Amino acid sequence: MPLSSRLPLPLTAALVLSTGFLAAEPEKTESQQILNSYLAATRSQKDRLKGSVAEVRIDAEIPRLHKRGRLAALRHISRVGRVTYDILGFDGDNTVRNNVIARYLSAEVQTRESGDASMAVTPENYKFGYKGVSQHEGRRVHVFELKPRAKRKGLFQGVLWIDAELSLPVREAGRLVKNPSIFIKKVQFTRDYELQDGVSVVALLRTTVETRIAGPAHMIVRYADYRLEPAAAGLGSLPSDNQ
């Protein structure tokens, strides 16, 4: 199956198809309790991924240039929260590797180094608008609309889905409010989470970047086999802890 056929639908359509109909909006006090439970749950596991390793596979393509590539790597998060990647292999066009995949990896490292608090999904950074209850893969979820309080790099306007039972994130989706480069017109994404060993971890990230020169660039990042153990960057890291 070609990569482009597995790429996400436009954001609005994807949300409608995935969530179905929303229930009536509850009282403000109830929605605040839901939000408080989410904030407490995410705080409790904030540092659980430090010292972890995960397998990562990245598929990317630039349709207008008929170029695509696939990269396999190990993603390490050190005990102090630094992200590094050990590259296991790459297959495809180097234009995709250098201009799509490598830039994504570098951006994630820079985001971590700038401090999670400035981009966290919290009331300090976002206004939360409760939209009701929906269904996602057989589970009840609470849906919040997110509006950033500032036009700051890394923040997005979109939606947050919270598991009604566990109060942990299920999905975040939206559009970045500040483009990372003058060569980029728009960045849209969907980030899906799953529960592993009691921790909510990112399982799938789908991104579409509208560039001014080459048109849209699509990327799918799949995370698997999280191992909550001390991480050590090896040879071939991009970037390395020594840089």
CB 135 within 8 A of CB 141: yes
The pLDDT value recorded for residue 13 is: 41
Cα separation, 32 vs 207, in Å, equals 30
Q: Which residue has the tokens 């071939």?
A: 236
Per residue in 210-224, is it b (16+ CB within 10 Å) or e — as a string? Answer: ebeebebbbbbbebe
Instruction: Tell me if the pTM is above 0.85.
Output: no
Domain span at 110: 3-226
Q: Say if 134 falls within a structural domain.
A: yes
Name the percent of the chain lying above pLDDT 90.
Answer: 56
**In this predicted structure, which of 151-155, 159-163, 191-195, 206-210 has the lowest mean pLDDT?**
151-155
Of 23-32, 90-99, 203-212, the range with the lowest mean pLDDT is 23-32
Q: How large is the average pLDDT for residues 166-181?
A: 91
pLDDT (tens digit, 9 = 90+) per residue, 228-237? 754 333 334 4
Please say if the pLDDT value at position 241 is more than 90. no
Higher pLDDT, 69 or 136: 69
- Residue 233, domain member (yes or no): no
Give the pLDDT confidence of 76-100 residue by residue, as tens digits.
Answer: 998 888 899 999 999 999 999 998 9
Question: What is the per-residue pLDDT across 42-61, written as a single tens digit (0 to 9) for each?
Answer: 998 888 888 899 999 999 99
User: Does some domain include residue 25?
Assistant: yes
State how far the Cα of 1 lies from the Cα of 4, in Å rounded to an integer.
8
Range of weakest confidence among 108-112, 167-171, 196-200: 108-112
Query: Does residue 148 lie in a domain region?
Result: yes
Backbone angles phi, psi at 125, to 5 degrees: -110, -20
Token pair 């659980």 is found at: 48
Whether residue 240 is contained in a domain is answered as no
Task: Give the pLDDT band of residue 114 (cuts 50, 70, 90).
Answer: low
In a domain, 239, yes or no: no
Looking at the 3D structure of the chain, how many domains does it have?
Answer: 1
CB count in 10 Å sphere of residue 22: 16
| Average pLDDT estimate for 27-36 | 86
Residue 116, pLDDT score: 61
Is the model's pLDDT at 34 over the cut of 90? yes
Residue range 96-119: mean pLDDT, rounded: 81
Residue 84's Cβ-count burial label (10 Å; 0-12, 13-18, 19+) is buried
Tokens 């597995």 — which residue?
Answer: 6
Asked, for residue 234, whether it belongs to a domain, the answer is no
Question: d(Cα 54, Cα 221) in Å, to the nearest integer?
Answer: 12
Beta bridge partners of 89: 72
- Position 64 in a domain: yes
What is the average per-residue pLDDT within 143-157? 93
Residue 58 · residue 2 · CB < 8 Å = no
Q: What is the distance in angstroms between the CA of the first residue and the CA of the last residue of the chain? A: 39
The Cα–Cα gap between 108 and 134 comes to 31
Residue 184 has a pLDDT of 83
